[in-house]
Amino acid sequence: MQEVVSEIIAWAWARHHNEWSWYIRPVLLLPFCWFAWRRSLAGIMLSLVALVTSMAWFPAPEVPSPMALELLAAEKAYLLAPWSFGKVAMALLIPFSFAALALAFWHRSPGWGLVVINTMVLAKILWTVVVFTPEGALYHLVPAFLGVAVCNVVLIGAWAMIRRARRRGG
């Protein structure tokens, strides 16, 4: 059984080197926000499954970029290194951030939702700067900033549409 799990992890890890997964992951926050707004626990869970599995949606690149190799080697070393209290606390920020994001939209507060999403991405960028080399962190900025920009544009647009509909009484 352990061998099968190791093979699955290796298969997914190879596919994680495909940088398309880096670009799609932040955009997957949008359905998460939608389902939280709609108060659909099943949709929220489905969105979380999509986020977790998205690293394996794209084929493994035939020749991964050297920077992707460096970034993911550093990430793997970080994850496999001993876990301190601080490292556990940092890891717990992830579920707490998603809970805060779900609560913001569940309670119909797109403004707070935008604050949470932007804070999540900023924290991810800062974590990348601390864990990886500065060059690696800069390489990761493009997908992070593009993803959060798309989220901001879509959410601000949706918020504006909701406000217009409320003013019209619909």
CA distance 14 to 12: 5
Q: Which residue has the tokens 């799609």?
A: 24
pTM: 0.87
Position 170 confidence tier, pLDDT thresholds 50, 70, 90? low
Domain boundaries, the chain: 2-168
Instruction: Give the range among 4-13, 60-69, 133-142 with minimum mean pLDDT.
Output: 133-142
Residue 65 has pLDDT above 90, yes or no: no
CA distance 58 to 95: 25
CA distance 50 to 102: 15
**Stretch 6-27: mean pLDDT:** 88
**Stretch 118-134: mean pLDDT:** 83
User: pLDDT at position 83, please?
Assistant: 94
CA distance 12 to 3: 14
Q: 37 near 160, Cβ under 8 Å?
A: no
